[in-house]
Amino acid sequence: MSDQLKQLEKAVKALQDELKEQKEATLYALSLIVLLAKELGLPKSRLAELSREAMKHLPRDMENLEFRKMMKDIAASE
């Protein structure tokens, strides 16, 4: 039973690591989309709307403080 428990713990850890990587990739992709929109000259109001929409698609348990900070920085630079 101990070997099975160790294997299960290892599998859970691997899944947690994969989920973290997927969350980071999602955040990165959303950030790139918003930055591209900014570079394309989207109005500030549309950028804010786009960032709010992007935030809706982040997993609820995801720490998205970095994304929020980036959105505030983008809005402030306009």
Cα 29 off chain centre by: 7
CB atoms within 10 A of CB 71: 21
User: How does pLDDT run across 1-55, given as a tens digit for each residue?
Assistant: 689 889 999 999 999 999 888 887 887 887 788 788 888 888 878 877 877 777 7
Where do the domains of the chain lie?
A: 2-77
Identify which has the larger pLDDT, 75 or 51.
Answer: 51
Identify which has the larger pLDDT, 42 or 62.
Answer: 42
Q: What is the pTM of this model?
A: 0.58
Cα–Cα distance, 45 to 18 (Å, whole number): 35
What is the pLDDT, as a whole number, of residue 78?
Answer: 53
What is the pLDDT, as a whole number, of residue 1?
Answer: 65
